[in-house]
Amino acid sequence: MAISPGFQGRRRPVATGLLPPGQYPTDDFPVLSTGPTPRVPTETWELSLTTEDGTHRTWSWDEMRALPHARPTVDIHCVTKWSKFGTSWEGISLDTLLEGVETTAAYVLVHSYGGYTTNVPLADLRGGRAWIVFDFDGEPLRPEHGGPARLLVPHLYFWKSAKWVRRLELLTAEKKGFWERVGYHDYGDPWREQRYEGD
């Protein structure tokens, strides 16, 4: 499987406290992925949510777009050490998608078109902290950045914000995703530099 190389941008000094430790700012939006970019037509795209007891919900593209929209502006931090300030998105809060879902799950395994997975605690997707986004900077999200829709969890390293999202699997026991299985941290807090297992 081909893995694109990490991006090395021009470093510049920043006021202390604006960046998590070990990060540098960039105005670019580097593209990093674990393989080919899936091209998913909105006519066939769908998002599903499955609870631990098998309860299943599915949204088509039109159904997703009909839900109440949120417009978060957030900083994002990649494990390859770049950070991008003040990114603007449009999408659906995970609080909206989880409304009325009865679950005792503590974890979510996020599945993407193309086979990528990542694990996130369910609590980190609630409370206005995570979205399924389909617009970036006022434009439809481009495929290389995860379009037509991706998960956005900006308080964790960006590999947790799975591109090309297609399914949220709620679990009572944690199951590692793609990068976590090869040694990346299970949680990935940029402020604690949780890049790799053991950090």
- Is 172 inside a domain boundary? yes
End-to-end CA distance of the chain: 26
Q: Rounded CA gap, 150 and 49, in Å?
A: 14
What letter represents residue 190's amino acid?
Answer: P
The reported pLDDT for the residue numbered 3 is 44
User: CA torsion angle for 190, 196, 198, 199 (degrees, to 10)?
Assistant: -30
- Is 133 inside a domain boundary? yes
- Is 109 inside a domain boundary? yes
- Is 188 inside a domain boundary? yes
Where in 54-147 does DSSP place strands (E)?
A: 56-60, 73-77, 82-93, 107-112, 117-121, 131-136, 139-140
> What is the CATH number for 184?
3.90.420.10
- Is 197 inside a domain boundary? no
SS3 65: helix
Structural domain of 55: 42-192
Q: Rounded CA gap, 48 and 174, in Å?
A: 19
- Is 10 inside a domain boundary? no
| Count of CB atoms situated within 10 Å of the CB of 122 | 19
Please tell me the least confidently modeled range out of 18-22, 75-79, 87-91.
18-22
pLDDT in tens, 5-21: 443 444 444 444 579 99
Q: Which of 173, 58, 160 is nearest to 112 (CA)?
A: 160
Domain count for the chain, please give it: 1
- Is 63 inside a domain boundary? yes
pLDDT in tens, 180-199: 999 999 999 999 999 999 88
**Which comes out higher in pLDDT, residue 1 or 83?**
83
- Is 27 inside a domain boundary? no
